[in-house]
Structure formats: C-alpha cells, structure tokens
Amino acid sequence: MGGGGKDMANLEELQKKIASVRKAIQSESSGLSDSKTVYELRKSFLDKAGRVGQLMKYMKEVDPSQRAEFGKNVKPDVTVLGDCRLTLKLITERMAKASHKEWIESFKPLDKEEYDKVIDSAIHPADGPLKMGEVVTAVSDAAPQDAVLVNDVGLNQMFSSRYFRYRTPRSIVTSGGLGTMGFCMPAAIGATFGAPERTVLAFMGDGGFQMNIQELGTIMQTQAPVKMILMNNTYLGNVRQWQQMMFNSRYSCTHMMNPDYSKIAAAYGIPYRLVTDRKDLKSAVDEMLKTKGAFLLETAVMDEENVMPMIKPGSPVDKMIFEI
C-alpha cells in the first residue's frame, strides 16, 4: 500500500476534513428518532508479517443517548454523532473523487487464475464423473430467460448460486447462510404459486432432498410444477468438505445411503430421469423443461467434489485456496 508516513499524512488530512464539518453535522442532526445507525469506514492493509493493520476507523451514531457506544468494541479515530442521511452527505461532498483504476486492474490476473484453476474445470470438465457446476450450467443454459432458481443448503447451494446465469431481477430464492437443509422444496412450491408464469428450478443435494421429501405429497396434491434437480453425490457434501480439509479426510457420519428415487417419484406420479453420463445430460434437461408439471431429474455427480475457492478459518483473504 505504500509507506506508513504517507498513510498517516492521508489520515491526518481526512481527520481535519471531518473535524471541519462536525459543528454542521451536530446542528443539522437535532430532533432525531429513537432509531440508530452504526457506520464504520475502515481502511485496512496487511503488513509484511501478514497481520491486519487498521489505518483508520470512523464510527457514526444517530441516537444522542448512545454516546457511550463510541469505542465500546473498536476504538475509533474519528467519531461523529449524527443522522447518516445528513452526515454521510456532508463528508462525501468533501472527498476527492477517485477512479481506483489501478486497483481494479490488479484483479484481472486473479480473475484469470481463478478461471484456470477452478471455473473452467467445474463447468467444462473433459472427463470423469458429472460435476455440480456442469449440471447447473446445463440447466441454466437451457432454461427460459426468466427462470427462478431455488436452492437448498450445502454445496448444491453454493454451486447453483455461483454458476446459474441470472437474466431477470427477482430470480433467486435462497436461505443464504440462515437456512437449514430441506429449505428448497417447500420454498420452490411457494415460488410456483408466487410466480406461476415462470419456470421454477429447485436444486438440491441428496441430504437436503430427504429432509423434506414428504413435500412431494404437496407437489402431487397441488400439481405444483417444480422442476427438481437432485445432485446426488452420496454425501452430506459441505460437511464432508470440511472434514476433508480440517480432519485429513477422516469422515464421520457424512456418507449417505440413498433410496431408489425412481420408485419414490413413481409413487407420487412425478416423471423422473437419472443421468450418470454427461452425454445424456442435455437431452435429460430438455425433457425436464418440456414436461408439463413437476419433474425429478437425478444426476449422479462426483462424490468428493469441493466448492472452491475458499478461505480457511483464521486465514486472511490473501491466503485463499484453490484446492484441498
């Protein structure tokens, strides 16, 4: 990032600019509501030892009674009491515009490295078993422009969120990091009622699929046209990946014994197809999309595939890994 002296000079200059508007901020921020906003602006960098250095911390509070919150957890260099709607405007007006061209350009080699090491082999594998990214890409390419993606929790969630090509706003229903396995199927059923004119694609792993497998009865009874893509790797894949990385592949309670999904689908009157070879993937996806109503497409994907890149717990962002 450059010399420490230059950084400190920049900090002192910014502090002076902020101090110059404090009185204006305080005078314009009277009569505030009980709501409050805590805003923290940080400029961080790694020194040669790999430690994170905090160049500047800037905290804002709205509620005057919350002065004690300043410095409670992180000691700020500059504090401003005021409504962010007013204070941010006053501060940003005094900041010089920057294009960050060099900083943005610095990411291009990293983009290429990620594509070469991760993305290309994930969506265009030359041989071996099917991969989740490959399945997601095949479905996304063939789906209507306004298709809705719904996913479960685990590797299927990360692969589908990453490689599905969104073309229309409001096209993903996901639990983010707050959901539990089994989220997908009832959410997908709801999506077919909320957007009946759109194709709803539900991506699940074999673990999450069985968490709410009884909802196939709801699909049968309501005739909800959910297109279910079951990416079966015979594992609780996300947990297995952590066990591989953190415990030298000493797997515990992550391998799955699966039922015959063709018989389960037949019992609920839902069309079904199994894909084990990538040469059959496109035709199977086309059949699913052309079939009226619900459809269960099971794909036998690579059993120990990992989602990459990732950062190990406690590691800085520049220690991102591309393989285990």
List pLDDT tens digits, range 218-236. 999 999 999 999 999 999 9
Residue burial 169-208, b: 16+ Cβ < 10 Å; e: rest: eebebbbeeebebbbbbbbbbebbeebeebbbbbbbbbbb
Please give the structure tokens belonging to residue 20. Answer: 């110059």
Please give the structure tokens belonging to residue 178. Answer: 């707050």
Taking residue 121's Cβ as centre, other Cβ atoms within 10 Å add up to: 16
d(CA 55, CA 128): 48
User: What does each C-alpha distance from 3 to 7, 17, 101, 254, 288 come to in angstroms?
Assistant: 7, 22, 20, 49, 59
List pLDDT tens digits, range 243-265. 999 999 999 999 999 999 999 99
Lowest-confidence segment of 77-81, 171-175, 210-214 by average pLDDT: 77-81
List pLDDT tens digits, range 52-74. 334 344 444 455 566 677 777 77
List pLDDT tens digits, range 91-136. 888 888 888 899 999 999 999 999 999 999 999 998 999 999 999 9
Alpha helices in the chain (DSSP H): 4-28, 84-92, 101-105, 108-114, 120-123, 132-142, 155-163, 184-194, 206-211, 216-222, 237-246, 261-267, 281-290
Q: Write the class of the CATH domain 108-319.
A: alpha beta
CB 297 within 8 A of CB 275: yes
Lowest-confidence segment of 41-55, 60-74, 230-244, 298-312 by average pLDDT: 41-55
pLDDT of residue 101: 92
Model confidence at 81: pLDDT above 90: no
Share of the chain above pLDDT 90, in %: 64
Listing from the earlier edge strand, what are the strands of the sheet with 272-275?
A: 172-173, 148-151, 200-205, 226-232, 295-300, 272-275
Domain-wise residue ranges, the chain: 4-97, 108-319
Please give the structure tokens belonging to residue 10. Answer: 């920049």
